[in-house]
Chain A
Amino acid sequence: MEKNGSLKIKKFFSKEKILFKKDSKLAYLFSAPYIILFIIFIIAPIIVAIWLSFTDYDMISSPTWAGLRNYVYLLTTDVEFMKYILPNTITFAFIVGPCGYILSFFLAWVLSQFPRGLRTVLAVIIYSPSLTAGVTMSVVWKIIFAGDAEGYLNNLLLSMNLIAEPIIWLQSTTYLLPIMIIVALWSSMGLGFLSMLAGILSISPDLYEAAYMDGIKNRFQEIIYITIPSMKPQMLFGAVMSIVGTFSAGAIGVQLSGSNPTPQYAGSLIVNHIEDYAFQRYDMGYAAALSVFLLALIYLLSKLAFTLFGDKKS
């Protein structure tokens, strides 16, 4: 067995050597800077996160091996995580992700029904909130949802006699998470939306004509049987973008409420919990375990998207 294994490795290397000899050496030179930076800033952090998650590390003394302790703590002892952070994250992700995605597709489809000029204007309007990267615009949201009578929403509701007292929206344990979801949805029409719009527009009109000849009856059937199957690659790209966008947007709760943790953890997501443990409690090992948990979650959800929309492989 052992001999067989080492033989295989030898074979692999000799084959690689032959292939390498045929390669253009310039290709290695051209791609080296990108690949090196990719390894340093994307692959290495993941490896370091996995390693740190098995250690105790306070950033002063060097890390000591902790085995599975951080993960055990994560699953059994971290009350805030199980009681607030995880449910918040799941609620936030499962509303913002799918709703943002469906809304992106819906808007892309509606826009594709308009002539070029109108479509471009509307596309710029829909895409521009995502340019602000969420956090930048927190100033605006903070004034709209301001807790005193001068806040726009309070003012509006007061003048319509719907409420008697101004509501302190951003410190409220009831309203903070829904507001975060609205803000995240507002800025979620990004690259995925543009990709789906371009995908719909690139479908050949012949395909629709043929489908109507074959007995498709209405626009809804047209979307289900022609549009979506013809743009699966863009649907997949859009899905991956909305998963990543959803989890990246998680920090807005802290921006909106102005504190980490948010009031009674009402708007805290995993991303905030990581920063809380890392930069306020200096428990890097546990923060790394949370990072690994989050990355695994994102990866699993993306895999799900790949099985739904991917053509080959899984």
Chain B
Amino acid sequence: MKKKRIHHHQVIVKTNPRRFKIDQLPLLILILPIIAFMLLPLLYIFNQAFKPFDELIQYPPRFFVTRPTFDNFIELFRTYSSTSIPISRYLFNSIIITVVVVFLSIFLSSITGFALSKMRFHIKNVIFEVNTIALMFVGTAVSIPRYVIIDAFGLIDTFWVNIIPLLVIPVGLFLIKQFIDDIPDELIEAARIDGANDFQIYLRIVLPLIKPAIATVAILAFQTAWNNIETSSIYVNSEQLKTFAYYMSTLSTSSNTVAGKGMAAAATLIMFLPNLIIFIFLQSRVMNTMAHSGIK
């Protein structure tokens, strides 16, 4: 590109503006139908979950709830599954599994990312490239061979099968490694000269600097574990080891009664809300990480 002296007031760049201007209005109107389409099912679930019985059976159906109650939630927690397991048990399993998966997968992907990015390690490029190819991996396509392998390790119908297969998240390692790449080498070298060993460098220098990437991996791991249905339906037989997401999916296929519909909506809301709240809290960190997401 030719070098030219640029006068900053000649061209007004419109991308990423500071404030709202009237010429942005047509664009907003243009995407409003799409936004509404994205939002409606979510609004619907909120309204449905809080509807009392008489509003659930109302005909014609009304979209918005007029007298919100917690009836559906109370009913949901009173119900037992067909094999007399209380709902709280499924919820308890899901919470424990999700917390463990989130922490372990953050640890695994960050320490591996550190080794691949900043340590003297001659096969690191090969590993990273294989990991990048694995971004294309679709887990559901190999549920059968996974069954054979999990069976061979004696993990079928154990508590750990809910956790161990979910720990490897190639996108997570990919994003964290890209993020660590941007930490200046001088910082690491300086710490080495000060006598810090590699684990101390990881713990005290790298981890605090990659908080946005960690937040992103946390969200990914949360989604993987919290929404996971496959494990409970394929690898677990004991009802007391299954998860809330699984229970919820059985509810949705057998919910033809009116009360069932209200409960299913309440359960869907319990499934969805934690996802949303965590994302809202961490979204600025996620955006920060995604700037490093390109495949080079």
A144 at the interface (CB under 8 A from B): yes
Q: Are A24 and B142 in contact (CB under 8 A)?
A: no
- Minimum C-beta distance from A239 to chain B (A): 9
Q: Are B134 and A129 in contact (CB under 8 A)?
A: no
Residue of A nearest to B42 (CB): A128
Residues of B close to A66: CB separation below 8 A: none
Interface string of A192-227 (1 = CB under 8 A from B): 001101111111011011101110000100000001
Q: A107-B31, A199-B291 are in contact. Are A132 and B272 (CB under 8 A)?
A: yes
Q: Are A24 and B120 in contact (CB under 8 A)?
A: yes
Residues of B close to A203: CB separation below 8 A: 15
A248 at the interface (CB under 8 A from B): yes
Q: A31-B116, A205-B15, A278-B144 are in contact. Are A42 and B170 (CB under 8 A)?
A: yes
- Minimum C-beta distance from A263 to chain B (A): 15
Residue of A nearest to B116 (CB): A31
Q: Are B135 and A189 in contact (CB under 8 A)?
A: no
Q: Are B295 and A236 in contact (CB under 8 A)?
A: yes
- Minimum C-beta distance from A169 to chain B (A): 15
Residue of B nearest to A251 (CB): B140
Per DSSP, are chain B's interface residues mostly helix, strand or loop, or mixed?
helix
Residues of B close to A30: CB separation below 8 A: 111-112, 114-115, 119, 198, 202
Tell me the A24-50 residues at the B interface (CB within 8 Å). Answer: 24, 26-28, 30-31, 33-35, 37-38, 40-42, 44-49
Q: Are B13 and A205 in contact (CB under 8 A)?
A: yes
- Minimum C-beta distance from A291 to chain B (A): 5
Contact stretch, chosen from B73-81, B83-91, B94-102, B276-284: B276-284
Residue of A nearest to B288 (CB): A198
Q: Are A294 and B122 in contact (CB under 8 A)?
A: no
In the complex, how many residues of chain A place their beta carbon closer than 8 angstroms to a beta carbon of chain B? 115
Q: Are A136 and B141 in contact (CB under 8 A)?
A: no
- Minimum C-beta distance from A67 to chain B (A): 19
Contact stretch, chosen from A5-13, A15-23, A173-181: A15-23
Residues of A close to B227: CB separation below 8 A: 132-133, 135-136
Q: A140-B268, A236-B294, A236-B295 are in contact. Are A201 and B44 (CB under 8 A)?
A: no
B248 at the interface (CB under 8 A from A): yes
A279 at the interface (CB under 8 A from B): yes
B14 at the interface (CB under 8 A from A): yes
Cα separation A255 to B153 with both chains bound (whole Å): 30
B242 at the interface (CB under 8 A from A): no
- Which of A35, A126, A206, A291 contacts B127, CB < 8 Å? A35
Residue of B nearest to A227 (CB): B15
Q: Are B146 and A26 in contact (CB under 8 A)?
A: no
- Which of B134, B229, B293 contacts A195, CB < 8 Å? B293
Cα separation A118 to B19 with both chains bound (whole Å): 9
A234 at the interface (CB under 8 A from B): yes
Q: Are B279 and A28 in contact (CB under 8 A)?
A: no
Residues of A close to B111: CB separation below 8 A: 30-31, 34
Cα separation A274 to B249 with both chains bound (whole Å): 20
Residues of B close to A284: CB separation below 8 A: 144, 148
Contact stretch, chosen from A75-83, A94-102, A160-168, A295-303: A295-303
Cα separation A86 to B147 with both chains bound (whole Å): 25
Residues of A close to B139: CB separation below 8 A: 248
Cα separation A9 to B230 with both chains bound (whole Å): 43
Residues of A close to B268: CB separation below 8 A: 136-137, 139-140
A240 at the interface (CB under 8 A from B): yes
Q: Are A23 and B59 in contact (CB under 8 A)?
A: no
B22 at the interface (CB under 8 A from A): no
Residues of B close to A227: CB separation below 8 A: 15
- Which of B8, B19, B148 contacts A209, CB < 8 Å? B8
Q: What are 22 A-B pairs with beta-carbon distances under 8 A?
A: A26-B199, A31-B115, A42-B170, A46-B145, A47-B145, A48-B142, A107-B31, A122-B35, A128-B275, A131-B276, A137-B272, A139-B255, A140-B44, A140-B48, A140-B265, A186-B41, A201-B15, A208-B13, A209-B13, A237-B293, A279-B234, A295-B142
